[in-house]
């Protein structure tokens, strides 16, 4: 009976059954209708030892191809210092659960407080929650937050320049929750303020969500947005890349009430799509409408500074169907990841990551345009990601690159292709990419 994760010996079982006062393990299931007891064999493999398990995983791993990545679309190949993974493997962090018992969870509570401080600082906002699942679900929850704050207004505007991976999720959430979502068409690759102003006229808009950098990598100019939106008593939210916020204008500087986005850019491995984290930050005024857990500072019985889960009256375990959201488990360990990453990179490092990425991206952009084979599309400012167009067969080129271990730009159709460059890409890699692309 005994297995390495199940320590019961035959003798243990006998002794325990006696204490319980039953004759067999089956007696513990005696209340279950016999016809639903599963007696057949499960369709899963036989038990594997660690040796066999490693072999199996290596076989699967060999069927993957690690690539030199020049693509983004919401996921970027940033570098993460070695220290982060080492600290994340402290099992005192990863084998704990939600810090319901603050006296023995100060480690978790304090890193969440630090995480909230760091994300608030990047966004210029006063409050940040302890994390959401991802950037897309965070954005959907912001739409709900807007409607819940507005009372009697049930419409949210979202710019079509937001990544389609995010928009898809926001649409699903709004459809089922019954929020009237209007997608504002783009104009020259950026959000069309005139279209927003027109929609705001009807007076039923609870809030407006816009992205920066947007799905084309363009840093949008939100001049006039906050005034126009606030004039109609609607809320203004910006979906942002938290890494980029170390250099680009912050949601707070644009006059936004809410900020949200995906934390993958904070050095998290691409990991085939997750885990990353979603974040929501907001002004103090909206704090009690924000979903998710929040940690606050307080004092203990001896007057010592400490941290605790707070404002829980918004949450599902207290309010049930009247809660601000159904979220319970979040992405806490990834919040620790982001915290340690930001602590290491710090004030100068976060700027340097952006400078290196932007310099590499602009170098690639300039070289592509100079080649005469690629043309600009929008002529708008960008940071690490941009779109160009070409008459070349981009699918053919990408297949050629793939054979050389490179993930090229992502084809957007109509000859448009989008590239992303991070601090990990060297000048040699970029030169090599260009040479391979222009081969024929």
Partner 1 sequence: MKYYDKLIFELSRPGRKGYELPADKFNTDGLAAIPQNLLREEKAELPEVSELDVVRHYTNLSNKNFGVDTGFYPLGSCTMKYNPKINEELCVMPEFTSLHPLQNPDTAQGALELYYNLQHALASLAGLAEFTLNPYAGAHGELTGLMIMRSYHDARGDKKRKKVIVPNSAHGTNPASAMVAGLEVVEVKSKPNGSIDVEDLKPLLNDEIAGIMMTNPNTLGMFETEIIEIAKLVHDAGGLLYYDGANFNPLLGKVRPGDMGFDIMHINLHKTFSTPHGGGGPGSGPVGVAAHLTQFLPNPHVKKAENGKFYVDFGKESLGSISTFFGNFGVMMRAYAYILSLGKENIRNVGPMATLNANYIKESLKDDYLLPIPGVCKHEFVFDGLKDKSTGVTTLNVAKRLLDYGFHAPTIYFPLLFHESMMIEPTETESLETLDEFIEVMHKVAKEARETPEDVVNAPLTTPVRKLDETNAAKNPILNYKALKENA
Contacting partner 1 within 173-192 (CB under 8 A): 173, 175-178
Nearer to partner 1, 232 or 255 (CB): 255
CA angle 249, 339, 347 (to 5 degrees): 45
CB 68 within 8 A of CB 431: no
Exactly one of 300, 375, 376, 404 binds partner 1 (CB under 8 A); that residue is 300
Distance CA 237, CA 162 (A): 12
- Least distance CB 429 / partner 1 (angstroms): 11
10 binds partner 1 (CB under 8 A): no
Half-sphere exposure of 199 (CA within 13 A, CB side): 22
130 binds partner 1 (CB under 8 A): yes
Exactly one of 23, 44, 391, 440 binds partner 1 (CB under 8 A); that residue is 44
Ramachandran sector of residue 233 (left: φ over 0; alpha: ψ -120 to 50; beta: rest): left
298 binds partner 1 (CB under 8 A): yes
372 binds partner 1 (CB under 8 A): no
Nearer to partner 1, 200 or 217 (CB): 217
379 binds partner 1 (CB under 8 A): no
CA angle 61, 67, 68 (to 5 degrees): 150
431 binds partner 1 (CB under 8 A): no
Cβ-count burial 352-390 (b if 16+ within 10 Å, e if not): ebbebbbebbebbbeebeeeeebeebbebebbbbbbbeb
Exactly one of 23, 152, 329, 439 binds partner 1 (CB under 8 A); that residue is 329
CA distances from 431 to 244, 353, 402 (A): 25, 20, 16
The rounded Cα 166 to chain-centroid distance in angstroms is 10
225 binds partner 1 (CB under 8 A): no
- Least distance CB 433 / partner 1 (angstroms): 14
201 binds partner 1 (CB under 8 A): no
Distance CA 152, CA 154 (A): 6
Exactly one of 10, 111, 263, 289 binds partner 1 (CB under 8 A); that residue is 111
CB 129 within 8 A of CB 142: no
CA distances from 63 to 49, 66, 161, 332 (A): 22, 10, 35, 31
Which helix (H) or strand (E) is 13 found in, with range?
A: helix 10-20
Which one of 154-162, 202-210, 225-233, 306-314 is the stretch in contact with partner 1 (CB under 8 A)? 306-314
- Least distance CB 432 / partner 1 (angstroms): 14
248 binds partner 1 (CB under 8 A): yes
377 binds partner 1 (CB under 8 A): no
How many residues touch partner 1 under the rule CB under 8 A: the total is 208
23 binds partner 1 (CB under 8 A): no
> Which of positions 395-424 make contact with partner 1 (CB under 8 A)?
398, 402, 407, 410, 423
Nearer to partner 1, 321 or 391 (CB): 321
Nearer to partner 1, 184 or 401 (CB): 401
> Which of positions 133-172 make contact with partner 1 (CB under 8 A)?
133-137, 144, 165-166, 168-169, 171-172
Per the omega criterion (within 30 degrees of 0), is the bond before 88 cis?
A: no
Which one of 107-115, 188-196, 198-206, 225-233 is the stretch in contact with partner 1 (CB under 8 A)? 107-115
Exactly one of 193, 219, 238, 280 binds partner 1 (CB under 8 A); that residue is 219
120 binds partner 1 (CB under 8 A): yes
Q: Please name the residue that has the structure tokens 């899963």.
A: 44
- Least distance CB 240 / partner 1 (angstroms): 11
- Least distance CB 370 / partner 1 (angstroms): 12
Distance CA 301, CA 402 (A): 61
Choose among 282, 292, 196: nearest CA to 238: 282
Choose among 257, 307, 311: nearest CA to 284: 257
């Amino acid at each position: 009976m005994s297995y390495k994760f199940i320590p019961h010996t035959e003798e243990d079982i006998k002794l325990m059954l006696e204490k319980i006062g039953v004759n067999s393990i089956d007696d513990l299931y005696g209340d279950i209708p016999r016809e639903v007891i599963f007696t057949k064999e499960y369709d899963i493999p036989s038990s594997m030892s660690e040796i066999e398990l490693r072999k199996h995983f290596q076989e699967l791993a060999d069927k993957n191809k690690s690539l030199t990545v020049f693509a983004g679309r919401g996921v970027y190949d940033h570098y993460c210092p070695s220290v982060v993974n080492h600290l994340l493997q402290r099992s005192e962090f990863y084998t704990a659960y939600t810090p319901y018992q603050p006296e023995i969870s100060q480690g978790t509570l304090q890193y969440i407080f630090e995480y909230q401080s760091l994300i608030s600082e990047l966004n210029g906002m006063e409050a940040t929650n302890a994390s959401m699942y991802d950037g897309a679900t965070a954005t959907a929850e912001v739409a709900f937050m807007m409607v819940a704050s507005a009372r009697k207004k049930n419409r949210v505007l979202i710019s079509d320049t937001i990544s389609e991976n995010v928009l898809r999720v926001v649409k699903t959430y709004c459809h089922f929750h019954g929020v009237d979502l209007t997608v504002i068409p783009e104009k020259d690759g950026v959000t069309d303020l005139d279209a927003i102003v027109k929609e705001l006229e009807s007076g039923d808009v609870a809030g407006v969500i816009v992205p920066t950098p947007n799905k084309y990598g363009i840093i949008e100019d939100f001049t006039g947005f906050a005034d126009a939106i606030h004039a109609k008593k609607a809320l203004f939210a910006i979906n942002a890349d938290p890494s980029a916020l170390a250099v680009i204008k912050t949601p707070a500087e644009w006059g936004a009430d809410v900020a949200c986005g995906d934390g993958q850019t904070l050095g998290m491995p691409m990991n085939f799509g997750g885990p990353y984290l979603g974040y929501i930050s907001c002004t103090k005024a909206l704090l009690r409408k924000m979903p998710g857990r929040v940690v606050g500072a307080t004092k203990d019985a001896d007057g010592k500074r400490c941290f605790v889960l707070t404002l829980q009256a918004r949450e599902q375990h207290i309010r049930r169907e009247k809660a601000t959201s159904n979220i319970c488990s979040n992405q806490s360990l990834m919040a620790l990841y982001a915290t340690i990453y930001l602590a290491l990179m710090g004030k100068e490092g976060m700027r340097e990551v952006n400078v290196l990425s932007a310099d590499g991206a602009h170098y690639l952009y300039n070289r592509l345009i100079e080649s005469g084979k690629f043309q600009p599309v929008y002529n708008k400012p960008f940071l690490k990601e941009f779109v160009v167009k070409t008459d070349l067969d981009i699918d053919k080129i990408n297949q050629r690159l793939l054979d050389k271990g490179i993930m090229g730009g992502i084809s957007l159709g109509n000859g448009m292709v989008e590239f992303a460059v991070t601090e990990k890409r060297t000048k040699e890699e970029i030169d090599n990419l260009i040479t391979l692309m222009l081969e024929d």
